[in-house]
Structure 1
Amino acid sequence: MIVKGSWEAFSALAFNAGALLFLAALFCWALYGLIGKAVMKGVSPLLTTTVTTLTGAFFLVILSLAKGGWDRVPSLSGQSWGEMIYLTFFATILAFFLWNQGIHQLGASQASIYMNLVPINACWIAVLFYGSSMTGVQGIGIILVIAGVCTVTLSNGKKAARHPSKIAERV
């Protein structure tokens, strides 16, 4: 344990801005999954994805207008445009639709297991498109993460096979 039950040790902990943003992102993502599960009891994953994507886009546009820099958009490089198109269609629309479909079919806790694959996707994209190198430790980490996801997924499948009524409850 980090603070060993000591209030003094807890109050002395210091977090940098990146760590706090990371914790806030984790909290928001967990909240999104839980709210999404409740919402999708009454609406489809496609409608959920459409509404959440448009809402997020609205707020991003508002915040980006305050930040400025729109005058540089027309002169972006071809690579930048390709990255924006990829982020828009694959990493946002398709990814959120598949995520919401997973929450709808599996539930938030079961679907969250697959979030462990996100850093692996970031790694192969960096290696393939940006010439980054991958270390042996990262390779071992990738293997361990995939093994963990497969283990949990397969054990959940075996539990579902033993309890088919629970599958009907989720759908």
Structure 2
Amino acid sequence: MKQDRKWLYYLGLVIVAAVWGANFGVTRKAMETFDPILFTFLRFSLSLPLLLLLLKIKEGSVGVSLRSLLHFAIIGLVGITGLEIIVVYSIKYTTLANASLLNVAPWPIFAAIFGPLFMRERISQRLVAGGAAAMIGVCFVILGGGEGFNMSSDHMIGNLLALSVSIIGALYNLACMPLMKRYSALRVSTWIIVFGVLFMFPLTLGSWGKVDWSGLTIGHYSAVLYNVVICTVIAFSIWNASMFQIGAARANFFRYVVPAAAVAVGYVFFNERISLWQLAGTLFMAAGLVWISLEKRGSEPPASIKKAV
């Protein structure tokens, strides 16, 4: 990976994480009208025609080999259907602070732990130091808000679900890496979503009739459009391509931008307070991520792999 292009991949990770963080506010408004699982299904199902069209235009075909279908199906079931539903219910059964912290903070740690099972990634001292600084920073961002962190028994189910998001999410990211040795990031994203949508559809059957479709406003359509085009079609493709070039362990630490972006959106659109602890945490997190990004990787993907991304 050329050093002059390295910054494009890191920038891509930051922008995507910020987009996903902003989506907390967008989704919060949409949940007032849509069932959570139905809204998630709409997000991914409506993105599929765009992904398939983009794949056809860019690469000339949309298919994958038969021997890869089972791999894609398992990742789609776990990483889209299962993971997205667990995220929804973790938020429902615990506080937003708990969900944000347990969903995000341990994710890169599990990615680093499980990484050797999928890819040959070196865990350097710089990565450990920068990752620790970023994790401390994101904890300040989340715990510095008004809700704090609550470990009461009333929230224990939600807390366990939120922690499982980090574990499953890390495994999901890492399981994508071998596929991206054979296919482009766009093709991998598309086929994972194909199976994720197929497995999610039966879970939405009881929700369609509960929506007042005639009463939907421009705001509702805008929320769906933002989720479909920005958060799914564009963001998934950029994240997977950047993650493949940077490495899963390093890339996943950039998820710490998500809660910082969510806090910023809450301040701008929902008049939520930003504390000095959150500002300090954002600076600490940014310093850790910059420290990670300054490291030179010892090896780069072979030329044949680069062409697929």
TM-score if structure 1 supplies the norm length? 0.76
Q: Secondary structure at the match of 1:16?
A: helix
The aligned residue for residue 161 of structure 2 is: 21
* Structure in which a larger fraction of residues adopt helix: 1
1:133 aligns to 2:293 (yes or no):
no
Write the letter of the residue equivalent to 1:76.
Answer: L
The alpha-carbon distance between structure 1 residues 125 and 32, as it changes in their structure 2 partners (threshold 3 A), is same
Gap runs ≥5 in structure 1: 1-13
Rounded to whole Å, the distance in 1 between the matches of 2:283 and 2:194 is 36
Which of 222, 225, 234 in structure 2 is aligned with 1:94?
234
In the TM superposition, what is the alpha-carbon distance from 1:22 to its structure 2 partner? 0.8
1:167 aligns to 2:307 (yes or no):
no
Q: Is the 8 A contact 2:189 2:236 kept in 1?
A: yes
In the TM superposition, what is the alpha-carbon distance from 1:70 to its structure 2 partner? 4.8
Q: Is the 8 A contact 1:127 1:133 kept in 2?
A: yes
The alpha-carbon distance between structure 1 residues 132 and 26, as it changes in their structure 2 partners (threshold 3 A), is same
TM-score if structure 2 supplies the norm length? 0.44
Q: Is the 8 A contact 1:36 1:103 kept in 2?
A: no
Rounded to whole Å, the distance in 2 between the matches of 1:132 and 1:107 is 35
**Deviations 1:109-162 (CA, angstroms, capped at 9, x unpaired):** 1211211111112222222333323222111111111111111111x23xx3xx
In the TM superposition, what is the alpha-carbon distance from 1:51 to its structure 2 partner? 1.2
The alpha-carbon distance between structure 1 residues 78 and 146, as it changes in their structure 2 partners (threshold 3 A), is same
The alpha-carbon distance between structure 1 residues 54 and 168, as it changes in their structure 2 partners (threshold 3 A), is closer
Rounded to whole Å, the distance in 2 between the matches of 1:132 and 1:40 is 40
Deviates more, 1:52-61 or 1:26-35: 52-61
The alpha-carbon distance between structure 1 residues 24 and 121, as it changes in their structure 2 partners (threshold 3 A), is same
1:62 aligns to 2:195 (yes or no):
no
Which of 170, 173, 182 in structure 2 is aligned with 1:33?
173
Quick one: percent identity of the two aligned structures? 25
The alpha-carbon distance between structure 1 residues 47 and 168, as it changes in their structure 2 partners (threshold 3 A), is closer
In the TM superposition, what is the alpha-carbon distance from 1:68 to its structure 2 partner? 4.5
Rounded to whole Å, the distance in 2 between the matches of 1:69 and 1:60 is 17
1:143 aligns to 2:143 (yes or no):
no
Gap runs ≥5 in structure 2: 1-152
1:85 aligns to 2:225 (yes or no):
yes
Deviates more, 1:137-146 or 1:123-132: 123-132
Q: Is the 8 A contact 1:46 1:97 kept in 2?
A: yes
In the TM superposition, what is the alpha-carbon distance from 1:67 to its structure 2 partner? 4.0
The alpha-carbon distance between structure 1 residues 131 and 94, as it changes in their structure 2 partners (threshold 3 A), is farther
Which has more radius of gyration? 1
Q: Is the 8 A contact 2:242 2:251 kept in 1?
A: yes
**Deviations 1:83-121 (CA, angstroms, capped at 9, x unpaired):** 222122212222211111122212211211211111112
Rounded to whole Å, the distance in 1 between the matches of 2:200 and 2:219 is 21
